[in-house]
Chains A and B, each alone.
Chain A
Amino acid sequence: MRLFLAITLLVLLVLLTCAPLFAAEAEPLFERLEAAATNVRTVTSAFTQEKRLAIFDEVLTSSGRFAFAKPDQLRWELLEPVKTGFVLSGDRGRRWHGRAGTSESFDIRSDPMMRIVAEQLLAWARADFGWLRERYQLEVLGENPATLKLIPRTEVGFLDHLKIIFAADDTHVQQVEMHEQDGDATIIRFSDAIINQPVPDETFRN
C-alpha cells in the first residue's frame, strides 16, 4: 500500500512538473511576447523550409527571404530551388513564379489560399495573440526561448498542431513547425533576422 502511494505521488509529481502551461497560466508569457512585438516595426530575414512527406519518406528543401513592415506588408520569396513568391500590402498583392514566367495580382478577400497564408504570416509577424487565441488552444512548451504549441480549436482538415519557437529576445519567430494529421510536417527556420531597419517600399511591390 505504501509502495502504491509512493508510485502514485511520483506519477503525479512527474505529470505536474512536465505539464505544459495552458493559456490562462501563460498570460505573462503572452504579454511579454506581445510587448516585444509592439516595438517591432520591420523584420527581414532569410529562411529555409523543409517539407517532410511521410508517404515518400522525402524532404523537400527550399530557401528564401522574408520581409515584414507594420501594419500589413509582407514579402515571402523562395530563391532556391525555384524563384517564386508573393508580396502583400493590405488586402492586395502580387505573386510570381520564375519557372513559369508568370506574375499576377491577387486580393486575399477573393483568394482563400492566399488569405490563409497571409493571415498566418501576419499573425506571427505581429504576435497577434488575440487572433491566435480565437483559432488555437495555446500551450507553452518552454519560456526561454518562448516555445508554443497550437492546436486548432476547430477541424482544419489537415493540421494536427503548430509548434512555434521565438527568438531569444522575443522580437520575432525563429522556427515554425506545422504538423499534419497524416505525419507530414513543414518546418520553417528563420535566420539572420534584422529588426527595425528601414525596408524600402519596393520590397513590398513586384
Chain B
Amino acid sequence: MTKMILVGLCLVLILCGCRSAGPFPAPTLSATHPLAMSELLGGSWALDNSTIRMRHTVLLELGWRKLPMVGLLELDRTARTIRLVAVNDLGIKLFDLTVTVDGYQTNYLFPELATYAGLGETVAASVRKIFLDPLPRDDDRLTVTADQYQTRRSLGDAELTFTFGGERPDLLGKELRGGAQGWVVRYYDYRDLPAGRLPGGVVLKDHTAGYRLTLWLEKANLIDG
C-alpha cells in the first residue's frame, strides 16, 4: 500500500513537472479550433515588427553556479537585433551585448566575469533563442491536438517545434530535439501590456550546454512601431 502511494506521488510529481518549469504556473490551455498558419502566427509578439524595451529579473544557472541579475533588453524586431545590458543588485554593470541572428558583439564585460568562460556567448545564444531566432514560419508543418497547436520543421537531423496554446493562442514553447543540440524554451504568464501581449516568465534549458536561464518580466515599453 505504501509502495502504491509512493508510486502515485512520484507520478503526480512527474506530471506536474511536465506542465510547469520552476517558478511559473503552467499555462491554461483551451480547446483548439481550426486555424490557418497565418492566423496562428499573426498575433504573436515574436513576429511583430516594433521595437520594445524590457526589464527582466534574470537567473542564470551554470552548473552549480547561480548568477542573478537585472537585464535591460531592447528588441528591434525589424532589424532583428538585441541590445542587452545586465547589472547586479548593486548596480554594477556585468555585461553589454549586441546580439544578431547569426552573431554577437561584446560591448562590455565586467573583468571579474572573465572567470565564467564563454559567458557572453552563452547569454547571447540564450536571448537569441528566446527572442530573436528561430521563429515559426508559414511553411512549417502544422499539427493540431485537442489543446495545442504545434508547428514543426526539420533542421538537418534535428527537429524544431513551436507550441501554441491558450485562448489567443500564445506561443508557449520552442524546442530543438535531435542532432548535436538540444534545448527548450517555455513562455509563461502572458500579459496584455501597452508594449503588446508578452510572456511574464521565460525558462530556457540548454541540455547540450548544461545551463538554465529564467526571466521574470518586470517592465516593458514600446520604443517605436
- Output the nearest chain A residue to B223 by Cβ-Cβ distance: A56
CB of B89 closer than 8 Å to a CB of A: yes
Q: Are the C-beta atoms of B214 and A51 separated by less than 8 Å? A: no
Of the listed stretches A19-27, A111-119, A161-169, chain B binds A111-119
Q: B residues within 8 A CB of A157?
A: 110-111
Q: B24-66 interface mask toward A, CB cutoff 8 Å, 1 = contact, 0 = none?
A: 0000000000000000000000000000010101010000001
Bound-state Cα–Cα, A78 to B96, Å: 23
Do B59 and A97 have beta carbons less than 8 Å apart? yes
Determine chain B's interface SS by DSSP, over half rule: strand
Residues of A within 8 A of B21 (CB): none
Stretch at the interface among A36-44, A136-144, A177-185, A191-199: A177-185
| Residue of B with least CB distance to A102 | B66
Residue of B nearest to A120 (CB): B90
Contact of B112 among A49, A116, A184 (CB under 8 A): A116
CB distance from A98 to the nearest CB of B (A): 9
User: Looking at chain B, what size class is its interface with the partner chain?
Assistant: 20 to 34
A82 part of interface (Cβ distance < 8 Å): yes
Which stretch (B68-76, B155-163, B170-178) binds chain A? B68-76
Q: Assess whether A56 is in contact with B111, with CB atoms less than 8 Å apart.
A: no
Q: Which residue from B23, B57, B115 sits with its C-beta under 8 Å from A82?
A: B57
**With contacts defined as CB atoms under 8 Å apart, how many contacts are there between chain A and chain B in the complex?**
80
Complex Cα spacing A180 to B111, Å: 14
Q: Nearest Cβ distance between residue A67 and chain B, in whole angstroms?
A: 15
Q: How far is the CA of A186 from the CA of B87 in the complex (A)?
A: 10
B92 within 8 A of A: yes
* Contact A58 B90, beta carbon cutoff 8 Å: no
A101 located at the interface, meaning its Cβ lies under 8 Å from any Cβ of chain B in the complex: yes
Q: How far is the CA of A104 from the CA of B59 in the complex (A)?
A: 13
Tell whether, in the assembled complex, residue A55 and residue B85 are in contact, meaning their CB atoms are under 8 Å apart. yes
**Chain B residues whose C-beta falls within 8 Å of the C-beta of A50 in the assembled complex:** 91
Interface positions of A from 48 to 65, Cβ below 8 Å from B: 49-51, 53, 55-56, 58, 60, 62
Contact of A102 among B53, B68, B83, B85 (CB under 8 A): B68
Which of chain A's residues have a CB closer than 8 A to the CB of B80?
none
B89 touching A78 by the CB < 8 A rule?
yes
Chain A residue with Cβ nearest B70:
A60
A178 contact set on B, CB distance < 8 A? 91
Closest Cβ neighbor of B113 among chain A residues: A113
> For the complex, what is the distance from the CA of A170 to the CA of B59, rounded to whole Å?
39
Chain A residue at minimum C-beta to C-beta distance from B66: A102
> Beyond the given A99-B23, A99-B216, could you list 11 further A-B residue pairs with CB under 8 A, ordered by the A residue number?
A53-B93, A55-B83, A55-B85, A60-B55, A76-B90, A97-B59, A99-B59, A104-B66, A157-B110, A186-B92, A188-B91
Residues of A within 8 A of B115 (CB): 112
A100 at the interface (CB under 8 A from B): yes
B148 CB-CB contact with A under 8 Å: no
Q: How far is the CA of A84 from the CA of B90 in the complex (A)?
A: 10
Do B112 and A56 have beta carbons less than 8 Å apart? no
Chain A residue at minimal CB-CB distance from B112? A112
